[in-house]
Amino acid sequence: MKQTLYEKILCRKTGKDRLEPGEIVEIAPDRVMIHDFFTPFVINKFREMGFSRVVDPEKIVIVYDHLVPATFPDDVRHHRITEEFVKEQGITRIHRSDGVCHQLMHEQGYAAPGDIVLGTDSHTVTYGAMGVLATGIGYSEMAAVLGTGKIWLKMVPTVRVTIDGALPQWVTGKDIILNLIRDLRVDGATYRSVEFNGTAIEALSQDARFTLSNMAVEAGAKTGLIAVDDITRAYCADRGVGVLDGLFPDEDAGYERVILYKAEEFFPVVACPYNLDNVAPASELNNVKIDQVFLGSCTNGRLEDLEVAARIVKGKKTAPQTRFLVVPASREVYHQAIQKGYISALLEAGAQVGHPSCSLCAGRSGGIVENTDTVLATNNRNFHGRMGGENAKIYIASPAIAAATALKGYISNPEIQ
């Protein structure tokens, strides 16, 4: 039987040759991740279910990222409860302030191609960019996984997105995924796997691919997958991660829907308040004044993103009335950006650089905005109250648009600087 990538990974894990659409199987995930916002809730449910010991502490990764640096006293309580549990259970894979969980999971080699990875966060889908069947689950589900070592997963249909051709200048992975969400709407891939392929996808860097998979969930997707190729193998080799053979869909696999795009027809876009499918060309929004620009998050806080922003602002100054907050996705990214001169260029232009964390994307750790503020950000969501004030307006765009906007003070494309 010809298989999609989702089907191929799930069949390998169950040892079955075929799974029917809608079939539910029991599997043991290869790795699970819990971030600090949810650890107390997971721990409470774990105890309520009558468990006393986790099945396999070696499979568990715990990350402090939403609540660092601590913003409220209760944030510290979350960490205290977590530390007690970690000591009790013998969990050793814990990152207390090393960056965003969805950067660390692939950066530290915790997610490997062909794995099934679960996390207490919807953007766990990020690792799909390296052929990982990764998805978010709730804290009750996670508590059950810790206590039993297993979970039920459903064989879901797949939507294939094929993009062939060469992308125009300044069109990025962020522009691709925002265009797709505009077309699918925010519920258009609900409980489906989205599979990206085509020559334009093959030409993307691994960093850009992570952006695509990260935001697949914003169309409701269960996961966002990209086949393993030489770019992924090189990324994994740098981190000592092994790669299974055959992590690509079969020709003529059965897809629920196939969406075709020509790369040349894409252009820089912006998601406008208050939904990610409210997408408009950036060129049509140059009269929108921006009070704050946020460059960071698990979506676009990687080294490539900082490089693009630094190149655009180098030797220039940010607009006097526009705050520019930059938060690297991890300590590794931060160190590399310092070594390459990106941080200096951003600082000299007037940016404020924060400690690696979820930061403003989680409404924490500096940069909180009020009701009257308008923000241009590179993260993944622009809902009411996401960054502080309930009625603050949040526009979502690429790092290139973010940097250009910081210089101009209005939503702007790089080429008009």
Enumerate the β-bridge partners of residue 27: 151
Q: Does domain 156-248+255-267 match CATH 3.30.565.10?
A: no
- Which residue spans of the chain are classified as CATH 3.30.499.10? 9-14+25-152, 156-248+255-267, 270-412
Beta-carbon neighbour count of residue 274 at 10 Å?
A: 16
What is the separation of C-alpha 45 from the centre of its chain, rounded to a whole number of angstroms? Answer: 26
User: Which of these, 65, 131, 61, lies nearest to 296 by C-alpha position?
Assistant: 65
- Considering all CA atoms of the chain, what is the largest pairwise distance in Å, rounded to the nearest integer? 62
* DSSP secondary structure of 89-137: HT---EESSSB-HHHHHHHTT-S-TT-EEEESSGGGGGGGGGT-EEEE-
- The verdict on domain 270-412 having CATH code 1.10.220.10 is no
* Neighbouring C-alpha atoms within 13 Å toward the C-beta of 30: 20
What does the pLDDT profile of the chain (417 residues) look like in tens digits?
A: 799 999 999 999 999 999 988 999 999 999 999 999 999 999 999 999 999 999 999 999 999 999 999 988 899 999 999 999 999 999 999 999 999 999 999 999 999 999 999 999 999 999 999 999 999 999 999 999 999 999 999 999 999 999 999 999 999 999 999 999 999 999 999 999 999 999 999 999 999 999 999 999 999 999 999 999 999 999 999 999 999 888 999 988 999 999 999 999 999 999 999 999 999 999 999 999 999 999 999 999 999 999 999 999 999 999 999 999 999 999 999 999 999 999 999 999 999 999 999 999 999 888 899 999 999 999 999 999 999 999 999 999 999 999 999 999 999 998 754
pLDDT confidence of residue 364: 86
pTM here? 0.96
Pairing type for strands 94-95 and 60-63 reads parallel
What does the alpha-carbon distance between residue 300 and residue 307 come to, in Å, rounded to a whole number? 11
Taking the C-alpha atoms of residue 99 and residue 335, their distance in angstroms, rounded to an integer, is 12
C-alpha span between 349 and 370 (Å, rounded): 24
How far apart (Å, rounded) are the C-alpha atoms in residues 263 and 75?
44
Q: What is the reported pLDDT for 51? A: 98
Q: Are 354 and 327 in contact (CB under 8 A)?
A: yes
H helix or E strand, kind and range, residue 180: helix 173-184
At 185, is the secondary structure helix, strand, or coil?
A: coil
* C-alpha to C-alpha distance for 410 and 413, rounded to whole angstroms: 10
Confirm if 89 and 382 have CB atoms less than 8 A apart: no
Asked if the 9-14+25-152 domain carries CATH number 3.30.499.10, the reply is: yes
Q: Are 32 and 119 in contact (CB under 8 A)?
A: yes
Contacts of 171 (CB under 8 A, 6+ apart): 263, 266, 267, 268
- Contact (CB, 8 A) for 172 and 208: yes
Instruction: Please state, in angstroms and rounded to a whole number, the distance separating the CA atoms of residues 341 and 110.
Output: 29
Closest CA to 114 of 247, 281, 278, 276: 247
pLDDT for 416 equals 54
